[in-house]
Each structure stands twice: as C-alpha cells, then as structure tokens.
Structure 1
Amino acid sequence: MSSVWQRWRNKLPQSESEYQQQIDPLRAAAPIPVLWLFGKTGSGKSSVIHSLTGAEQATIGEGFRPETKSSQRFDFPDPVEPLLTFLDTRGLGEADYDPAADIAKYSESTQLMIVTVRVADHALADILQPLRQIRKSTPERPVLLLLTCLHEATGEIDLSEGVDPFATEHPNHESPSPIPDALQTLIDRKTEQFAGLYDQMVPVDLTRLEDGFADPDFGGPRLRQAILQYLPHAYRQALLSLGMEDQGHRSKRQRRARWQVLASSSLAATAGAVPVPWVDIPVVLAIQSHLAMRLGKIYEQELTASHWAALSSAAGSRIATRMALREVLKLIPWVGMAAGAASAFAFTYALGMSWDWYFANLRDGRTPSTDKLREIFADELQRGHELWTAK
C-alpha cells in the first residue's frame, strides 16, 4: 500500500502546464461540456451561469476572455480543470455581426445551445436571423429557448410566490399559480417566432435578492433539469450536486474548494471509464495529486512530507483494494466502464472532501486527527456514491 502512495506522490505535477500535458489526451477523447449562450446583452446570460453554478456575478464577469471577434469564453470554475465551459456571443444586435465565424468554430465543439430572450422583447430580428443559420448548420445540436425577465410582463403578480405554473409536477398536488394573460400572450408569440429553432422552452425569472421577489431563482431547477439530460454522466452528476445543497453558508474559499473537488471528480470519472485495464490508473492518480495541490493553494497551506503522509492515510488500504477490483471489472464490457467511472468519481470526491476538511483545520490553527480524517473519508465516500447515482 505504501508503495502505491509513494508512486502517487512522486507523480505530483510540478506545474499547471505539466498537469495539462498529462490530461490533454483525456480531454481530447472526452472533452469538457461546452454550453453556447446566445442572446442580446442584458437578456440574462450571466444570471443563467450564476443559477447553474452559484458563482458570484463579479467572478463571472472577470472570468470571461476573448474567444472570437464577437464571442467570449468562461471556464467554470477555472480554465485548468473546468466542470463546464460557457461561450457567450456578444455581437448580437450589432450591425456587422456575422455568425459565420462562430458557426465554423462552435458547430463541432458545443454540446448545447441556450438562447436567452427577454419575454417582453419584441425586437428579435438580430437573434432570429443568425439563429436560423446556426440551427441549419448543426440541426442535431439541442437548443434550449430561455424566456427571461418574466416579471416584466406580470405587473404586481410575483409568480415565484406560489406553486410554479411551469413545473410538470406539483408538491402535495397543490394547484399551480395562474399565468397572467399578458405573460401567456407573450409566451405564445415567442413560440410562434422561434418555431423550429429550439427543442425545449424554459421560462425563468432569475433576479437578484435586492429585487425583492420571493424566489430569485424562479425556474432555475427546471433549467438545470433541462440541461442535465444533454450532459455526459460524470458532468451531469457534478452539475446536479451543485444544486443539491445550499451554498449560502459556505465561505468563498469553501465554495472554490468544493468546485475544485467536483471538477476533479468528474475528470477522474471520465478517465475511469476508459475500458482498458490499468490504463487509467496513472491519469486518475495525477488528477488526485493535482487536486491535493490545488486545495493546498486554496487554503494557503504548504504540502510538506508530514501533510502527504496524513493525506495518504485518509483512505488507508481501500484505495489499492478498490483499484484492483475496478480494473478486474473492466474485463467485463460495459459493466467495467460503469464501475470504473463510478469508483473514480466517488473515491476522488471522498479524497477531495477529506483533504478540504484537513486543510481547513490547518488554516484555522488546529491539528487534524488522522482517525477523524479516515472517518470523514468513509462518510464522504458514501456521499460520493450517492451523488453519482442521484437523479
């Protein structure tokens, strides 16, 4: 067991660039999901990212970087190991916007297109015309039509106060809130205007707390469910887990750490699905060692020899035993792929969350107990398996 962890420690990437080289082949075989946001400025694209990820608006704004002349890219939580990549087309509404460059660049690299339209916006020619060209170029790529800013058409009525009228299921058989006639008229009009250009329509009202609405994330759960069906399983489960608990009680540092754990777990699951026995172990170990390094940086803790010894003790002998079993299962087609992905996800998640607890204690001046670290690992391992099977 000690020799396994010694090799794991020795494979620690010395830099981000070295780590990128180690996982580039994996990303080429199973790229990170890319969501193409398509809408006018002010139509709610940043609010969509905030609803999906929980990232602060300032972080989102600072995270975009140029991708093409008219588009920008945002990797969440960071470009090194993202869970999701968002592409934002910013040229819409400008007289010289030509979608040809975006079509050429994104037709093969984006898994899902999210078109954001304010429900009360009537000037839609600048969206409809390029969208028709994009849809024609890649008709097999799913398109979600997001109708935003519903409150602009509801007057004094706050739809988020009652039962969601757009939900397919209602708790305790409660009657949904009625949709105001003015809003329904606008929705019907958008349905006609975008006919044939989308696969699913999702009305949402994503507002800020200071706006005073009962639920600032109205429609957010429906949006997440609509997106989840189009994502690879590993990233689907990571995105699903982002919405499974309240992030409000976590500090900014804790949220960054959790995002890193989920990103690494998803990447490890992708590597774990490789159907050739023993091929994925070096990659998964590199991902896990990089995770330890990133968490140490987040908590501003140096990775000393004693820290490595403590971190490696979290899983004890379980790692070697599970790795061997998982690789044997890979000899069974399909069963082995599923087992490898699930195991890699759950183990990486458990290690990451255990190390998160460890580094948080060190930062607060406490000496973490090895026994407690193992206890937390066991609990988080079960949690990792639950996240992988969650629906």
Structure 2
Amino acid sequence: MVKPSESSSTQEQPLPTLWLLGKTGAGKSSLIQALTGSSAVEVGNGFSPCTKTSFAYNFPQDKPLLRFLDTRGLGEAHYDPSEDIKLCQRQSHVLLVVAKVEEQEQSAVLEVLSTIRKAKKIKQVLLVYTAINTVPESEKNRLVAHHQGAFEKVWGSALAAIEVDFDCDTQTYYHREQLVAAITEIMPLVGLMLDKKEHTSLEEQAFAKVKNEVLWYATGASFTDLFPVVGLVSVPAMQAKMLHSLAKRYEVKWNTRGFAELIGVLGTSFSTQYGVKLGARQLVKLIPFYGQTVGAATAAAVSFGTTYGLGRAAGYYFYRKSRGETVNSEDMQQVYKDAFELGKKVAPRE
C-alpha cells in the first residue's frame, strides 16, 4: 500500500445517474431535496446545464457520488425533447417518472416515455407519484390506477411504483424510506449513500458524517481498477489520500508512524493479502477478453470493497485515537471485514 500522501490523481468517472422525467411542478426538485437533505437554495444553485432544457445536479457537490438529470419543458409549447432524450439516455442508469397524482394530463410525459422505450437504452424505470396526501383516499386510488395503466401501456410491461408526499418546508417526507428502498433494489450504492437510519453508538454517528467521502474514494478506486495495470498504482494512491483526509476530519495526527500503527492493528495478514490480491487482480485483467470483462469487473468490485472497508476501519481507529482510547485489533478487523463485504455487495457494476 502507498504510504501517507496528500496528493493523487483521479480520472473522470461516471456517476450513478437518476433521470427525473416529469412535467413542471411534478415535484422533481422536492424529490431531490428529500433524498439528499439539500435545501431548496442548494438544489436550485447546484444545477448545471447539459442542454438548453436539461440540467444536472451532482450530490454531494464537492465529492459527487450521484447525479440527478432533470429534463425541463415537458408539456410546454415548442419544446423538442429529442436533444434531451439523446443526452439522458446516454448518461442515465435509472429513469424516475415523476407525476403529481392529481395531474391527470400526462400526454407529454407519455410521449417521451414511448420514445425512450423504442430506443431500448433505458432498462430500469420507477414511477413516483407525488403529493399523494393532497387527495382523498378513494380519489387517490382511482388516480393512481389511471396513471399506472397509462404508463404501463406505453412501456409495454408492469412498472414498479412508489407513492410519496414531500413537504420540504417542514421536512416531512412521506414514504422517503420506501423510495430509497426501491432505488436501492436497482442501485445498491445509492441506498448506502442515502441511508439515514439511527446509529447505535457515538462511533457510528461519527463515521456517518464521513461515510460519503469514503464512498467517493471507493468509487474512484473501483473506476480506475477497471483498466489493466493502472489499478496497481491508482488504487493504493487513492486509499492513501483517503486515509490522510480522514485523519484530518477526525483531528488525528497522520504520519508514517500512524500509518504503520493502523496497518499493524489490522494485522499482518491484511497487509500480505492486500499486496497479493492487488497484484493478482492486475494479472487477471491482462487475460484476453476474460480479463477485459469479468476480470476487470471483479477487480473493480474488490477494490471498492477494500477501499470502503479500509475507510470504515480507519474511521473506527481514528475515532478511538481521538478520544485517547485503546484500539482493539480483533474489533477493528471485524469492522473491516463487515465493511469489505458490504462494499463488494453495493459496488457499481458499470
């Protein structure tokens, strides 16, 4: 593993992307606020233009892990969606069709959805019905059935749907957990990133504040390890930069001695396996065809898991050190193993 460093280069990497398709006023910005916890001002100022009518919002803004694409203008006069569709189909992983439940007129959305289906670029679609609590129960059921039938008819098959109601002023997010769970089924990394469950210990609470940064480094390491030999240098470099950054966040002095102590607590088996497995992953990627597909994908997933596991274990270590507490080697090794397995499970597959 590379020793402590403050600098490493990162390549441009693709972000898991949610394409929000819906009419103006459907609640797309509120959905972003509910999922990310960002304010209306942060969301409004965070959008950057992709085309004349499509905008991207990266979250978090400083070290992005997720991108929202918003196509605006549906249902408006003289709006031509062709340019937006071409862009969004190329970048998106999941299409979220957002419809305000009481808005029965959805012809513009249905037309674009039909075009998307014919292009056969987007495979994953989730329907999100908003403002669900603004209508009586009996009326709500009728409206949802109406929308569901129309959308499924255009798509040609059954579509999963979530009913939500987000009041961003009071931060009352009805069915937010169900929406996150539905997205997680398709994109596991998003679920880990957006998880806001209660934490049982102060140490877990402390790590929750740096978790997205660890995920950012894990995603970067995973992406660079897709390429033969590159990962041999890039993965340890990104991990070293992550450790330096985490030490700073936990206000722990970080130097070569601290690095050696952290690795020592993880155990000699960790260091040995780390070096052997890293080299083996690079060799596998050199095998024609297999290495460029299965080998590269496996290497990327393992690098994600290793980096996330190392970051999680480092968080545990730095938290204890910052409080002057003794770090139990067995406990820390278990923290690493659990996080490594979770990281492999949620690692991006594209």
Aligned to 1:150: 132
What is the CA-CA distance between 1:255 and the residue it aligns to? 3.9
Change (3 A) 1:92 1:215: closer
CA contact (8 A) 2:308 2:340 kept: no
Post-superposition CA distance 1:37-80 (Å, at most 9, x none): 1223442324444555x533455444333332222212222454
Corresponding position: 1:140 with 2:86: no
* Aligned pairs for 1:75-94 within 5 A: 75-78=58-61, 80=63, 82-94=64-76
* Aligned pairs for 1:1-391 within 5 A: 5=1, 8-9=2-3, 12=5, 14=7, 19-20=9-10, 23-24=11-12, 27=13, 31-50=14-33, 52=35, 54-58=36-40, 59-78=42-61, 80=63, 82-136=64-118, 138-142=119-123, 143-153=125-135, 155=136, 180-194=137-151, 195-197=153-155, 200-208=159-167, 216-217=175-176, 219-225=178-184, 228-229=185-186, 231=187, 236=188, 238-242=189-193, 246=197, 254-272=207-225, 276=228, 278-296=229-247, 298-299=249-250, 303-317=254-268, 318-325=270-277, 327-328=279-280, 331=284, 340-360=299-319, 366-367=323-324, 369=326, 371-372=327-328, 374-375=329-330, 377-388=332-343
Identity %, equivalent residues: 26
Distance 2:325 2:236 in 1: 24
CA contact (8 A) 2:128 2:164 kept: no
Residue 91 of structure 2 aligns to a residue whose secondary structure is: coil
Distance 2:280 2:207 in 1: 36
CA contact (8 A) 2:232 2:278 kept: no
The code of the aligned residue for 1:184 comes to N
Tell which deviates more after alignment, 33-42 or 207-216: 207-216
Distance 1:139 1:39 in 2: 19
Residue 266 of structure 2 aligns to a residue whose secondary structure is: coil
Higher relative contact order (CA 8 A, sep 6+): 2
Change (3 A) 1:384 1:354: closer
Aligned to 1:173: none
What is the CA-CA distance between 1:9 and the residue it aligns to? 2.8
The code of the aligned residue for 2:212 comes to W
Change (3 A) 1:308 1:65: farther
Residue 344 of structure 1 aligns to a residue whose secondary structure is: helix
The code of the aligned residue for 2:148 comes to T
Change (3 A) 1:69 1:359: farther
Aligned to 1:171: none
Residue 263 of structure 1 aligns to a residue whose secondary structure is: helix
The code of the aligned residue for 1:284 comes to V
Residue 103 of structure 2 aligns to a residue whose secondary structure is: coil
Aligned to 1:158: none
Post-superposition CA distance 1:80-138 (Å, at most 9, x none): 4x3221111233344343213312322322222211001111232443344444444x3
What is the CA-CA distance between 1:148 and the residue it aligns to? 1.9
Distance 1:222 1:247 in 2: 16
Distance 1:295 1:198 in 2: 48
| TM-score in terms of structure 1 length | 0.69
Structure 1: segments with no counterpart, 5+ residues = 156-179
Change (3 A) 1:206 1:382: farther
What is the CA-CA distance between 1:296 and the residue it aligns to? 4.5
Change (3 A) 1:388 1:96: same
Residue 378 of structure 1 aligns to a residue whose secondary structure is: helix
Residue 113 of structure 1 aligns to a residue whose secondary structure is: strand
The code of the aligned residue for 1:259 comes to N
Structure 2: segments with no counterpart, 5+ residues = none
What is the CA-CA distance between 1:205 and the residue it aligns to? 1.3
The code of the aligned residue for 1:292 comes to L
What is the CA-CA distance between 1:284 and the residue it aligns to? 1.0
Question: How many residues are matched?
Answer: 332
| TM-score in terms of structure 2 length | 0.76
